[in-house]
Structure 1
Protein backbone atom coordinates (compact mmCIF):
# COMPACT_ATOMS: atom_id res chain seq x y z
CA UNK A 1 0.00 0.00 0.00
CA UNK A 2 1.39 3.37 -0.93
CA UNK A 3 1.61 6.23 1.56
CA UNK A 4 -1.33 7.90 -0.18
CA UNK A 5 -3.65 4.99 0.50
CA UNK A 6 -5.65 4.17 3.60
CA UNK A 7 -8.30 1.57 3.80
CA UNK A 8 -11.43 1.34 5.92
CA UNK A 9 -11.26 -1.70 8.12
CA UNK A 10 -14.26 -3.98 8.19
CA UNK A 11 -12.93 -5.78 11.26
CA UNK A 12 -12.42 -8.99 9.32
CA UNK A 13 -9.09 -10.72 9.27
CA UNK A 14 -7.06 -10.19 6.11
CA UNK A 15 -3.98 -12.32 5.52
CA UNK A 16 -2.34 -9.49 3.57
CA UNK A 17 -2.71 -7.19 6.57
CA UNK A 18 -1.17 -8.60 9.76
CA UNK A 19 -3.25 -7.75 12.78
CA UNK A 20 -6.32 -6.67 10.79
CA UNK A 21 -8.56 -8.61 13.16
CA UNK A 22 -7.33 -6.43 16.07
CA UNK A 23 -9.07 -3.33 14.74
CA UNK A 24 -12.65 -2.54 15.59
CA UNK A 25 -15.17 -2.33 12.78
CA UNK A 26 -15.35 1.19 11.47
CA UNK A 27 -11.66 2.04 11.61
CA UNK A 28 -9.34 3.59 9.09
CA UNK A 29 -6.03 1.78 8.71
CA UNK A 30 -2.80 2.74 6.97
CA UNK A 31 0.78 1.51 6.95
CA UNK A 32 3.55 3.72 8.39
CA UNK A 33 6.34 1.60 6.87
CA UNK A 34 5.92 3.24 3.46
CA UNK A 35 6.53 6.71 4.86
CA UNK A 36 9.79 8.53 5.48
CA UNK A 37 8.59 9.22 9.05
CA UNK A 38 5.90 7.27 10.92
CA UNK A 39 4.52 10.54 12.30
CA UNK A 40 3.54 11.68 8.82
CA UNK A 41 1.47 8.52 8.32
CA UNK A 42 -0.25 9.13 11.66
CA UNK A 43 -1.19 12.72 10.79
CA UNK A 44 -2.47 11.73 7.34
CA UNK A 45 -4.52 8.84 8.74
CA UNK A 46 -6.11 11.02 11.43
CA UNK A 47 -6.86 13.69 8.82
CA UNK A 48 -8.62 11.17 6.58
CA UNK A 49 -10.51 9.57 9.47
CA UNK A 50 -11.77 12.95 10.68
CA UNK A 51 -12.25 14.49 7.20
CA UNK A 52 -9.85 17.31 8.00
CA UNK A 53 -6.94 18.93 6.24
CA UNK A 54 -3.68 17.55 7.72
CA UNK A 55 -2.23 21.07 7.71
CA UNK A 56 -5.01 22.17 10.08
CA UNK A 57 -4.25 19.51 12.69
CA UNK A 58 -2.06 20.50 15.63
CA UNK A 59 1.58 19.39 15.64
CA UNK A 60 1.87 15.71 16.50
CA UNK A 61 4.60 16.51 19.02
CA UNK A 62 1.93 18.21 21.16
CA UNK A 63 0.51 14.71 21.83
CA UNK A 64 3.50 12.38 21.79
CA UNK A 65 7.30 12.51 21.68
CA UNK A 66 7.67 11.98 17.92
CA UNK A 67 11.40 11.25 18.07
CA UNK A 68 10.89 8.56 20.73
CA UNK A 69 7.98 7.10 18.75
CA UNK A 70 10.07 6.94 15.58
CA UNK A 71 13.01 5.35 17.43
CA UNK A 72 10.71 2.76 19.00
CA UNK A 73 9.02 1.86 15.71
CA UNK A 74 12.20 1.72 13.66
CA UNK A 75 14.43 -0.11 16.16
CA UNK A 76 15.13 -3.82 15.99
CA UNK A 77 13.83 -6.20 13.38
CA UNK A 78 10.28 -6.57 12.10
CA UNK A 79 10.03 -9.81 14.09
CA UNK A 80 11.12 -8.09 17.31
CA UNK A 81 8.51 -5.35 16.75
CA UNK A 82 5.68 -7.75 15.93
CA UNK A 83 4.01 -7.51 19.34
CA UNK A 84 4.52 -3.76 19.73
CA UNK A 85 1.24 -1.87 20.11
CA UNK A 86 0.71 1.59 21.54
CA UNK A 87 -2.17 4.00 21.62
CA UNK A 88 -2.46 7.68 22.39
CA UNK A 89 -4.83 10.59 21.97
CA UNK A 90 -4.13 13.04 19.16
CA UNK A 91 -6.44 16.05 18.88
CA UNK A 92 -9.33 14.18 20.49
CA UNK A 93 -8.80 11.09 18.36
CA UNK A 94 -7.52 7.71 19.54
CA UNK A 95 -4.56 6.50 17.48
CA UNK A 96 -3.25 2.93 17.61
CA UNK A 97 0.19 2.26 16.17
CA UNK A 98 1.64 -1.23 15.78
CA UNK A 99 5.14 -2.47 15.14
CA UNK A 100 3.93 -4.34 12.05
CA UNK A 101 3.21 -1.01 10.33
CA UNK A 102 -0.45 -0.50 11.14
CA UNK A 103 -1.84 2.90 12.04
CA UNK A 104 -5.46 2.47 13.13
CA UNK A 105 -7.90 5.31 13.79
CA UNK A 106 -11.51 4.52 14.71
CA UNK A 107 -13.96 6.41 12.51
CA UNK A 108 -16.68 8.70 13.82
CA UNK A 109 -14.71 10.25 16.67
CA UNK A 110 -15.36 13.87 17.51
CA UNK A 111 -12.30 16.09 17.32
CA UNK A 112 -11.59 19.04 19.56
CA UNK A 113 -11.88 21.48 16.62
Structure 2
Protein backbone atom coordinates (compact mmCIF):
# COMPACT_ATOMS: atom_id res chain seq x y z
CA UNK A 1 0.00 0.00 0.00
CA UNK A 2 1.26 3.50 -0.75
CA UNK A 3 0.52 6.84 0.85
CA UNK A 4 -1.11 9.73 -0.94
CA UNK A 5 1.66 12.32 -1.13
CA UNK A 6 1.10 15.91 -2.09
CA UNK A 7 3.90 18.39 -2.59
CA UNK A 8 3.82 22.15 -2.68
CA UNK A 9 6.62 24.52 -3.31
CA UNK A 10 5.42 27.40 -5.40
CA UNK A 11 8.11 26.69 -7.97
CA UNK A 12 10.93 27.00 -5.43
CA UNK A 13 12.37 23.60 -4.49
CA UNK A 14 13.94 25.09 -1.33
CA UNK A 15 10.48 25.51 0.19
CA UNK A 16 9.15 22.05 -0.67
CA UNK A 17 6.53 20.65 1.68
CA UNK A 18 5.40 17.01 1.55
CA UNK A 19 2.07 16.01 3.09
CA UNK A 20 1.33 12.36 3.65
CA UNK A 21 -0.96 10.09 5.65
CA UNK A 22 0.91 7.62 7.86
CA UNK A 23 -2.23 5.51 8.34
CA UNK A 24 -1.50 3.96 4.92
CA UNK A 25 1.36 2.13 6.67
CA UNK A 26 1.62 -0.17 9.67
CA UNK A 27 3.54 2.39 11.71
CA UNK A 28 3.79 6.20 11.81
CA UNK A 29 7.59 5.92 11.73
CA UNK A 30 7.41 4.18 8.34
CA UNK A 31 5.29 7.02 6.96
CA UNK A 32 7.83 9.53 8.30
CA UNK A 33 10.81 7.87 6.62
CA UNK A 34 9.02 7.58 3.28
CA UNK A 35 7.77 11.18 3.34
CA UNK A 36 11.24 12.50 4.26
CA UNK A 37 12.73 10.36 1.51
CA UNK A 38 10.44 12.05 -1.00
CA UNK A 39 11.13 15.53 0.39
CA UNK A 40 14.91 15.21 0.11
CA UNK A 41 14.93 13.10 -3.06
CA UNK A 42 16.82 10.16 -1.57
CA UNK A 43 16.14 6.45 -1.29
CA UNK A 44 14.79 5.66 2.21
CA UNK A 45 17.65 3.22 2.80
CA UNK A 46 20.21 6.02 2.36
CA UNK A 47 18.67 8.26 5.03
CA UNK A 48 20.14 8.44 8.53
CA UNK A 49 18.68 5.90 10.94
CA UNK A 50 15.48 7.42 12.37
CA UNK A 51 16.24 5.98 15.82
CA UNK A 52 19.42 8.08 15.91
CA UNK A 53 17.16 11.17 15.96
CA UNK A 54 14.01 10.00 17.76
CA UNK A 55 12.87 6.73 19.31
CA UNK A 56 10.75 5.24 16.50
CA UNK A 57 8.93 2.81 18.79
CA UNK A 58 8.01 5.63 21.18
CA UNK A 59 6.85 7.77 18.25
CA UNK A 60 4.65 4.93 17.01
CA UNK A 61 3.16 4.39 20.45
CA UNK A 62 2.52 8.06 21.24
CA UNK A 63 1.01 8.84 17.84
CA UNK A 64 -0.91 5.65 17.02
CA UNK A 65 -2.14 4.75 20.49
CA UNK A 66 -2.68 8.15 22.10
CA UNK A 67 -6.47 8.14 22.17
CA UNK A 68 -6.42 11.92 21.71
CA UNK A 69 -5.04 14.72 19.59
CA UNK A 70 -1.23 14.53 19.65
CA UNK A 71 1.38 16.12 17.40
CA UNK A 72 5.12 15.46 17.53
CA UNK A 73 7.65 17.69 15.75
CA UNK A 74 11.35 17.03 15.23
CA UNK A 75 14.17 17.59 12.77
CA UNK A 76 15.44 14.70 10.67
CA UNK A 77 17.67 14.43 7.60
CA UNK A 78 17.58 18.15 6.80
CA UNK A 79 13.83 18.47 7.31
CA UNK A 80 11.32 19.51 9.93
CA UNK A 81 8.76 16.73 10.48
CA UNK A 82 5.32 17.06 12.09
CA UNK A 83 3.35 13.88 12.75
CA UNK A 84 -0.17 13.90 14.17
CA UNK A 85 -2.38 11.25 15.70
CA UNK A 86 -4.96 12.13 13.02
CA UNK A 87 -2.69 10.61 10.37
CA UNK A 88 -0.91 13.63 8.93
CA UNK A 89 2.80 13.70 8.21
CA UNK A 90 4.07 17.11 7.09
CA UNK A 91 7.70 17.40 6.03
CA UNK A 92 9.37 20.72 5.23
CA UNK A 93 12.94 21.14 4.11
CA UNK A 94 15.04 22.74 6.84
CA UNK A 95 17.17 25.03 4.69
- TM bucket (normalised to shorter chain) is 0.7 to 0.9
Q: 1:4 deviation in Å? A: 3.8
Q: Contact 2:3 / 2:21 at 8 angstroms: preserved in 1?
A: no
RMSD over aligned Cα atoms:
2.0
Q: 2:79 aligns with which of 93, 96, 103?
A: 93
SS at match of 2:30: helix
Higher Rg:
1
> Does 2:51 match 1:61?
yes
Give the TM-score, by structure 2 length.
Answer: 0.81
- Work out the number of aligned pairs and report it: 90
TM-score by length of 1: 0.70
Structure 2, gaps ≥5 residues long: 10-14
Question: Following the alignment from structure 2 to structure 1, what is the Cα–Cα distance between the partners of residues 72 and 64?
Answer: 14
Q: Which has the higher strand share?
A: 2
Q: Residue by residue, what CA displacement relative to the aligned partner does 1:60-84 show, whole Å, maximum 9, x if unpaired? A: 101101111111112143xx2x3x1
Q: Which runs of 5+ in 1 are unaligned?
A: 11-24
Q: CA deviation at 1:92?
A: 2.2
**SS of the counterpart of 1:41?**
helix
